A and B are shown apart, each in its own frame.
Chain A
Amino acid sequence: MELFIRQLINGLNTGSIYALVAIGYTMVYGIIKLINFAHGEIMMFGAYFAFLLAFTLSFNLPFLLVIVLSMSFAAILGVLIERVAYKKLRQAPRISALITAIGMSLFLQHLAQLIFGSTPYVMKPLIDTTPVVLFNFAIPKLTLLTIGLSILFMLLLSFFVLKTKPGKAMRAVSQDKEAAILMGINVDNVISMTFAIGSALGALGGIFYAMTYSQIYPTMGVLPGLKAFIAAVFGGIGSIGGAMLGGYLIGIIETMTKAYISSKWVDVIVFGLLIVILLFKPSGILGKNTKEKV
């Protein structure tokens, strides 16, 4: 039992990273029906930003400032990508935008390789790492922080989307873009805002990923990006709550598979799950079944 709870905590740690990244996929999909495959690369760039801010400046920035600044840079990067690569394609068939997204993903990977080289950067944890003892369990401090901060940011996001005016505009655009324009909503700004928020959260996920697993490299976003995408589909793509739930579930399933079956089966099970969901409940756990518009 004790072991099970320990593994559950490990799963929550990975899961909260997936959840953070999955939110970016789901928000962008909700607004412009695009699966932004470059999102994993934004996560990677977020980690590089944090590394540069934390270790290359001549003065020491406080940990929270490093996080907030890297998130802001990633947000700018996200908006830039949307403006440059996706905006022109908004009216184009969805497959063109999808291919552009894949191209963007490869472009960013190789850009990172050009700028930073492919040797991994070693990310030292920016906080003290001695384990904290809680109810008889020694839990790494970083794990607590990852879980805690990701829940905090998700609550902030829910509050923003549900209770504020820009959040309302966001929901309006996702429901009906044309009607939103008629209501005087600046759709371009809303879309930029969505990319900014999604990218910032993705960067946060990337920073935690790098700190937990100690390395940053240009392809680090690929696999977690894919898993987060699965998490978003699992929870119901387009639904923010679904992305969070999906992220935690995928993280826990993955860890439990590693702990009780074998690490060999992890990808088989996770990707198999994607196929099963697409076959039997394409809208995901929390997704709504939308009827095809005539």
Chain B
Amino acid sequence: MKKLLLMVSVLLLTVTLSACGSNDNTVRLGVIGPLTGEYSLYGVAVENGAKLAAKEINAAGGILDKDVEVIAYDSKGDSTEGVNAYNRLRDQDEIHALIGGTFSGVTLAIKDLAVQDNIPVLTPTATNPDVTLDAANVFRACYTDSYQGSTAAVFAADELDVTNAAVMYNRDDPYSEGLADAFMAEFDARSLDYTAFEFGAQDDDYSALLTNIQSGGYDAVFLPAYVAEVGAVLTQADAQGLDVPFIGGDGWDGIEADYASVADGFYFVNHYAKTDEAAVVQDFVANYTEEYGEAPNALAALAYDAVYAMAEAMENAGSLDPDDITAALSALEFTNAVTGSIKFDANGDPIKSITIIQVVDGLHEVYAKVAATEE
């Protein structure tokens, strides 16, 4: 019996020892995003942005004198795949911190696991309000859905004099619904009129909704959705001859690539504008374009900022201990960011400015910039 006990304990010891025998000369940052599939536009941008930042950081000496390594896995935009990717990052790659969960849905799915495992998370792009709630070690680099949605409503009411809006959103997507809810709440608060039009993730045919919108005589349509859907909706709206301005959220970023003509003149709120003249923005755009052969979208910029912010927090913490990193993130004031300065509130949400962009001749033009407000 004693022999058996000894054998078991020796066995256990070898297992535990071998588990922590991995490479400790690098700082490993995990990235999870839809790298393939219809949303790959977003995931690839996040991966590229993060890797560009890591490359620059390594060239400047790394974090705590160690090289940064970005390990990206595909979530296909699906929560189950996202959790699998997370498990692999935790068990196999033993990451020190996680950048991402690109989508809100995926990030929500891995949030509880990350809290349990105490892995610091700084998601560049998950905008759903619940992501940072009740999770001390989860932060985000972008503003929330509700902030974005209400800013779009303020913009519609104040700048475009919209008094009667159509709100068209994807009921299967928390991101789309979150923005729509915030937009409608702001319109309620100002006692302006609106009508909600829902569609489903499986829908390809929006003509019935658009015909109803056309006959309803609305001043504008708020369409918080991702490019794949936005493009299809705008194409059909154009074919029907619907002549109403559309307003969107940051999911519209990249719309000019395939749908410049049908999106011309429309507005969306975004994290930064490629045409911003600040040096850090122009340097980032130039380096990214040189590295990947295309201009970065807002998600790439956010991921780039997130990696830099994480690096600074790790430097400030002086260690890779998760509690130290979390504490350093809470206290972080990261000023020289592409998407505006980052400083986290009690929830772990950033307090930052918001940009309103108009699509003109396939280019992003800064239409307005709304300053940061403490919520």
Are A and B interaction partners? yes
Instruction: Choose one: A3, A262, A264; the contact of B215 (CB below 8 Å).
Output: A3
Q: How far apart sit A3 and B205, CA to CA, in the bound complex (Å)? A: 17
- For window 190-219 of A, CB contacts with B under 8 Å fall at 209, 212-215, 217
Chain B minimum-CB-distance residue to A257: B208
Chain B min CB distance to A258 (Å): 4
Chain A min CB distance to B258 (Å): 4
Instruction: Assess A6 versus B205: contact at CB under 8 Å? Given A119-B38, A213-B232, A264-B198.
Output: no
Q: How far apart sit A14 and B203, CA to CA, in the bound complex (Å)? A: 12
Binary per-residue interface labels of chain B (38-81) against chain A in the complex, 1 for a CB within 8 Å, 0 otherwise:
10110000000000000000000000000000000000000000
Chain A minimum-CB-distance residue to B215: A3
For residue A2, CB closer than 8 A to chain B, the reply is: yes
Q: Report how many A-B pairs have Cβ atoms within 8 Å.
A: 97
Q: Contact at B204–A213, with CB atoms within 8 Å?
A: yes
* Contact-residue size bin, chain B (C-beta under 8 Å from the other chain): 20 to 34
* Contact-residue size bin, chain A (C-beta under 8 Å from the other chain): 35 or more
Instruction: Assess A215 versus B236: contact at CB under 8 Å? Given A3-B211, A122-B258.
Output: no
Q: Contact at A264–B171, with CB atoms within 8 Å?
A: yes
For residue A156, CB closer than 8 A to chain B, the reply is: no
Q: Contact at B236–A213, with CB atoms within 8 Å?
A: yes
Interface of A is mostly: helix
Q: How far apart sit A293 and B223, CA to CA, in the bound complex (Å)? A: 57
For residue A142, CB closer than 8 A to chain B, the reply is: yes
Q: Contact at B36–A131, with CB atoms within 8 Å?
A: no
Instruction: Assess A214 versus B231: contact at CB under 8 Å? Given A122-B259, A131-B241.
Output: yes
- Residues in B with CB closer than 8 Å to A118 are 36-38, 40
- Residues in B with CB closer than 8 Å to A266 are 200
Chain A min CB distance to B101 (Å): 20
Instruction: Assess A263 versus B209: contact at CB under 8 Å? Given A131-B241, A214-B232.
Output: yes
Q: Contact at B207–A263, with CB atoms within 8 Å?
A: no
Q: Contact at A263–B232, with CB atoms within 8 Å?
A: no
For residue A181, CB closer than 8 A to chain B, the reply is: no
Instruction: Choose one: B40, B203, B214, B241; the contact of A263 (CB below 8 Å).
Output: B203
Instruction: Assess A125 versus B198: contact at CB under 8 Å? Given A120-B228, A259-B211, A259-B212.
Output: no
Chain A minimum-CB-distance residue to B257: A122
For residue B283, CB closer than 8 A to chain A, the reply is: no
- Residues in A with CB closer than 8 Å to B199 are 263
Q: How far apart sit A129 and B261, CA to CA, in the bound complex (Å)? A: 12
Q: How far apart sit A147 and B199, CA to CA, in the bound complex (Å)? A: 24
Q: Contact at A255–B207, with CB atoms within 8 Å?
A: yes
Instruction: Choose one: A122, A224, A255; the contact of B208 (CB below 8 Å).
Output: A255
Q: How far apart sit A10 and B200, CA to CA, in the bound complex (Å)? A: 18
Q: How far apart sit A11 and B207, CA to CA, in the bound complex (Å)? A: 9
Q: Contact at A217–B38, with CB atoms within 8 Å?
A: yes
For residue B116, CB closer than 8 A to chain A, the reply is: no
For residue A167, CB closer than 8 A to chain B, the reply is: no
- Residues in B with CB closer than 8 Å to A269 are none
Chain A minimum-CB-distance residue to B241: A131
- For window 85-140 of A, CB contacts with B under 8 Å fall at 117-120, 122, 125, 129-131, 138, 140
Q: Contact at B198–A6, with CB atoms within 8 Å?
A: no
Chain B minimum-CB-distance residue to A122: B258
Q: How far apart sit A116 and B33, CA to CA, in the bound complex (Å)? A: 20
For residue B335, CB closer than 8 A to chain A, the reply is: no
Q: Contact at A6–B36, with CB atoms within 8 Å?
A: no
9 new A-B contacts, CB < 8 A, other than A118-B40, A213-B204, A214-B235, are A6-B211, A7-B212, A118-B37, A129-B239, A215-B231, A259-B208, A263-B203, A264-B198, A267-B202
**Could you jot down 9 A-B contacts, CB within 8 Å?**
A6-B211, A119-B41, A129-B238, A129-B239, A223-B202, A255-B208, A259-B208, A259-B211, A267-B200
| A-B CB proximity, top 6 nearest | A258-B208, A140-B239, A213-B204, A214-B235, A122-B258, A131-B241
Question: What is A's interface to B at a CB cutoff of 8 Å?
Answer: 2-3, 6-7, 10-11, 13-14, 117-120, 122, 125, 129-131, 138, 140-143, 209, 212-215, 217, 220, 223-224, 254-256, 258-259, 262-264, 266-267
